[in-house]
Amino acid sequence: MGRLDTAGRSTTSNLNSTITNFSVTPKEVDGVENNKENHYDNEDFQENFAYYDEIPEYKTTINAFATWVLGKGWKADTNTQAILENISGMGEDTFTSILWNMIVIKKFHGDAYAEVVRNDAHQIINLKPLNPARMRTIVNKQGLITGYEQLDKPQGKRQGKRFNPTQIFHIMNDRVADSIRGNGITQGIKWVIDSRREAMEDWKRISHRSTIRVMYVDQDKPEKLTFLKGQYKDAIENGEVMILPSKKGETGFEDLNLPPVEAFLQWIRYLEDVFYKAVGVPKIVLGGSALPEGDSKVSFLSFEPVYIREIEGLRMDLWNQLAIRVEFSPPVSLKDKVQENEVKNSSQIGFQQNDAEAGVGE
């Protein structure tokens, strides 16, 4: 880019020296190494939990996802149902609330654990959710889980209670390659959450400061400045008035004005849209969306394969790990209703039967 130096000569500048191109750092999965034992500690659980617990829209979205998976209940044969209905976790839980708890943790963190309690006949009598921050997953060099340890404290170095694989019910989120852990979604969307919260805090701060009145006082009259500062002491401390020295003839009050809000709102809305796409739960599922009806239908139907996959994964985890056969009742699908409405409303365009079928992954 050209510019003039102090002598009027034309020189050039190199923008490559000041602008850094975006790139990602190569990353290896937490996979199996050639050791007799390999282990994974949930060292980032506390940070992930903080995001879940302190960001209301994140918490609500994750909770809604788990509710959609389990909200219609489950069915089992008479004997299995009698066993599961007596599971109480810490004493006030139910089989459904324990699974809901684990899906929530699995989604935002990656791994969720529960201790399996059995009677002398080896029948399951309870499931107790555990704190992932204190859990260590142990695998052999073939990549098979050989046990678990409950550490004496979060990220503790000393060994605690040891469990064999049948004593822990363990579910993982989106495990890839030979990783020995699940992949929660928190780490991947931290930037979006942080950016949105910062934008909201920025506007809050600007809005608050716009309520301050500025009083300009002639700087040649320090005694008046001192007097006014004393007179408005409480207002200054409460952030209601700001007193500044000025030139003679420029004294008086002035109100601060808010900058145009639309630029802030567009950025916040954009980040909100990215947030829901990254979490994988359409905003309409939570009961709020400004989308047209046709787009809302597509968003709703595209969510069906997501929670159905979760339902099927949970069903197989219960069978493979606990030999419990449970069938979950998914929420009512909109596909048939949408197709029926499309037939009745031939003037509606942009959403046809093929779209509905594609939306549910058939």
User: Distance from CA of residue 352 to its chain's centroid?
Assistant: 33
Spatial separation of the C-alpha atoms in residues 237 and 320, rounded to whole Å: 64
Q: Does residue 82 sit in the same domain as residue 162? A: yes
Q: Does residue 209 sit in the same domain as residue 336? A: no
Closest CA to 57 of 354, 275, 345: 275
Q: Kindly state whether residue 31 falls inside one of the protein's structural domains.
A: no
Q: Kindly state whether residue 262 falls inside one of the protein's structural domains.
A: no
Domain extent at residue 198: 190-255
Q: State how beta strands 161-163 and 111-118 pair.
A: unpaired
Number of domains in the chain: 3
pLDDT digits (tens, 9 = 90+) for 132-151: 999 999 999 888 999 999 98
Q: Kindly state whether residue 95 falls inside one of the protein's structural domains.
A: yes
pLDDT value at residue 166: 94
Among the three residues 165, 184, 203, which one is the final residue of a domain in this structure? 184
Cβ contact 111:132 at 8 Å: yes
Spatial separation of the C-alpha atoms in residues 289 and 87, rounded to whole Å: 38
Cβ contact 177:31 at 8 Å: yes
Q: Does residue 149 sit in the same domain as residue 233? A: no
Among the three residues 151, 168, 184, which one is the final residue of a domain in this structure? 184
Q: Kindly state whether residue 120 falls inside one of the protein's structural domains.
A: yes
Q: Does residue 56 sit in the same domain as residue 136? A: yes
Q: Kindly state whether residue 58 falls inside one of the protein's structural domains.
A: yes
Cβ contact 89:98 at 8 Å: yes
Q: Kindly state whether residue 50 falls inside one of the protein's structural domains.
A: yes
pLDDT digits (tens, 9 = 90+) for 199-241: 888 877 766 655 555 555 555 556 655 555 555 555 545 555 5
Q: Does residue 350 sit in the same domain as residue 332? A: yes
Closest CA to 332 of 361, 360, 355, 351: 360
Q: Kindly state whether residue 251 falls inside one of the protein's structural domains.
A: yes
pLDDT value at residue 139: 92
Give the global pTM: 0.74
Q: Kindly state whether residue 247 falls inside one of the protein's structural domains.
A: yes
pLDDT tens, N- to C-terminus, the chain (362 residues): 555 555 555 555 555 556 677 777 887 777 777 777 888 899 999 999 999 999 999 999 999 999 999 988 999 999 999 999 999 999 999 999 999 999 999 999 999 999 999 999 889 999 999 999 999 999 998 889 999 999 877 655 566 789 999 999 999 999 988 888 999 999 999 999 999 988 888 877 766 655 555 555 555 556 655 555 555 555 545 555 555 555 545 555 455 556 677 777 888 888 988 898 888 888 877 766 555 555 566 666 777 888 889 999 999 999 999 999 999 987 776 555 555 555 555 555 555 555 545 544 44
Q: State how beta strands 161-163 and 168-172 pair.
A: unpaired
